[in-house]
Amino acid sequence: MPHLFRRLRSSNPASRLRNIAAAICLVMVPAMAPAQTIVALGDSLTQGYGLPAEDGFVPTLMHWLAENGHDVNIVNAGVSGDTTAGGLARTDWSLEPGTDAVIVNLGGNDLLRGLDPAQTRANLDGILDKIDAKGLPVLLIGLHSPVNFGADYQAAFNAIYPDLAQEHDALLLPDYFTPLVRDGRLDPALMQADGIHPNATGVKRAVEEVGPAVLKLLEQIN
């Protein structure tokens, strides 16, 4: 700023007043805080399968956060078809430098394939261990198993997310699909034709549930 004050001394009176005002503005206006960065580690629900890019989970969530006064950059680390094993394998390089927090939304493909809940638990536990090692706050988004694979499977799977959230001191959203359910089943009006992935309206409905949990996640940064 020395060059500015040299100009102040050499200016005529009118110019000097304008330059003084400019100097005051430079001193008084604080630097803008950088946007916080969240990595969303997930599968097709995160990636935005079957939707225009702007209607996917990540852009919709970023828009919701902006409407609620938060400038947040969310990295879309969603891979369609990924299981918890796949998520574990890519956790290290997904958590790029500058990451402030993490959303984990995995397990749906494990459930669709009827994989052993013990393995799903171990994989998610490994993912959370890696996040903990970096000292990052995390929001774990869970899923509830239907009865298709039997009551024992359902009980074992449903216990995974609350147990791990407690063990890792993570924020928990118990079930991504809760806001998409009507009369005990997924509302067809909110789902794509495959009956598995939400449509744009369904994504907005899900984000209305996820958004407040992400606000709590932002509070845990630093």
Active site residues: 44, 194, 197
- Return the SS3 of 178: helix
Of 78, 77, 160, 76, which Cα lies nearest the Cα of 111? 160
Q: Cα–Cα distances in Å, from 20 out to 1, 11, 28, 29, 116? A: 12, 10, 12, 14, 70
103 with 141: CB under 8 angstroms?
yes
- Return the SS3 of 65: helix
139 with 101: CB under 8 angstroms?
yes
| H helix intervals, 68-175 | 84-89, 91-94, 108-113, 117-133, 151-167
